[in-house]
Amino acid sequence: MKIRRKKRQESEVDVSSFSDVAFLLIIFFILTTTFKLIGGQELNIPSGEDGDSEEQKQLTISLTGKEIFYGEDSKSSLTLRQLRVQLADEQLSTKKEEQRMVVLESDENVVYQRYYNVMLAIRDADGIVALIERDTDE
Amino acid sequence: MVPMASFGDIAFLLIIFFMLASNFVKEAHIELERVEAGNIEEVDPAPVSVSMDVDGVCYLQGAVQPIGSLESAVSMLIENADDKRVAMTIDKNLVYKQYSEIQMSLVRAGATIIAIGDIGEPSTKDN
């Protein structure tokens, strides 16, 4: 008697849907990704270690909670736009490095966004930001 | 019938490419709102990063760092490095008494500070 062997069934994993899944993932990533440009400004803040004792007339900007004062004795406040104009008038780019220093003083309650805008204004005018370290007992 | 078999391969190659080329931000867990300005330039990533979040907590390289020891920690990191740039990211709503010490510590440590902000619309506000 002839025994008929059952023909072995070939099993195969269907991979055709893998590409669909992969493309769906790509579309998902393309749609959800946001390319964020990170910007920054280099602050060339002098360390103050090699500062000489010779008194030099330096530009001073004082920030309070809402106002910007230009110059040590200034009593009238400026807007940021006016400050930019004042700094441009100084023509700092034509001066020596030590004359390009702009002392930036700030009240304790000045928010960083305003402080940053003023630092940018100084940088745009080719100034060098100089910080004042206040004594803690003051 | 168009043979579609290679489409899957291309798709997987694209996924692998994006996974390898993506640069994941190590400070993603730090909650802060960056300052925005229109006239800042795009910068290359700095090797050292210092941040201060919305609560005034200071981070060095993504880990919490007491501000009192920030200067020495940064000094150690940049001491022998050629690139002394330190990316400084501060929440835009913090006030001077909170962020001034970071600036001073970085200056004292001899770092070149890169003040990080988002490139946005030019500020229309005057103050």
Kindly report the nearest CA distance between residue B41 and chain A, in angstroms: 5
Asked whether the predicted pLDDT for residue B64 surpasses 90, the reply is yes
Out of A29, A39, A43, closest to residue B113 by CB: A43
Average pLDDT in chain B? 84
Tell if the CB–CB gap between B7 and A23 is shorter than 8 Å: yes
Q: Are B74 and B101 in contact (CB under 8 A)?
A: no
Q: What is the mean pLDDT of residues B62-71?
A: 92
pLDDT in tens, chain A (138 residues): 677 777 677 777 777 777 788 888 888 877 776 666 667 777 767 655 544 544 556 788 988 888 888 887 777 888 888 889 988 888 888 888 778 888 888 888 999 999 999 998 998 888 888 887 655 444
Return the percentage of chain B with pLDDT > 70, whole number. Answer: 89
Nearest chain A residue to B14, by CA: A26
pLDDT of residue B22: 67
Tell if the CB–CB gap between B104 and A131 is shorter than 8 Å: yes
For chain A, domain boundaries: 59-131
Kindly report the nearest CA distance between residue B100 and chain A, in angstroms: 9
Whole-structure pTM value: 0.72
DSSP string, chain B: ----HHHHHHHHHHHHHHHHH----TTTTS----EEESS-EE-PPPSEEEEE-TT--EEETTEE--GGGHHHHHHHHHTT-S--EEEEEE-TT-BHHHHHHHHHHHHHTT-EEEEEEEE-SPP----
Most B CBs within 10 Å, among A47, A113, A134, to test the B interface: A113
pLDDT of residue A137: 47
For chain B, domain boundaries: 26-119
Nearest chain B residue to A23, by CA: B11
Cα separation, A130 vs B102, whole angstroms = 15
Q: What is the mean pLDDT of residues B61-78?
A: 92
Q: What is the mean pLDDT of residues B114-126?
A: 71
Q: Tally the C-alpha atoms within 13 A of residue B126's C-alpha that lie toward its C-beta.
A: 10
* Number of A–B residue contacts, CB under 8 Å: 130
Tell if the CB–CB gap between A115 and B96 is shorter than 8 Å: yes
Per CATH, which fold does A59-131 belong to?
Nucleotidyltransferase; domain 5 (3.30.420)
Cα separation, B114 vs B6, whole angstroms = 46
Token pair of A90 as six digits: 């100084």
Burial state string for A107-123 with b = 16 or more CB within 10 A and e = fewer than 16: eeebbbbbbbbbbbbbb
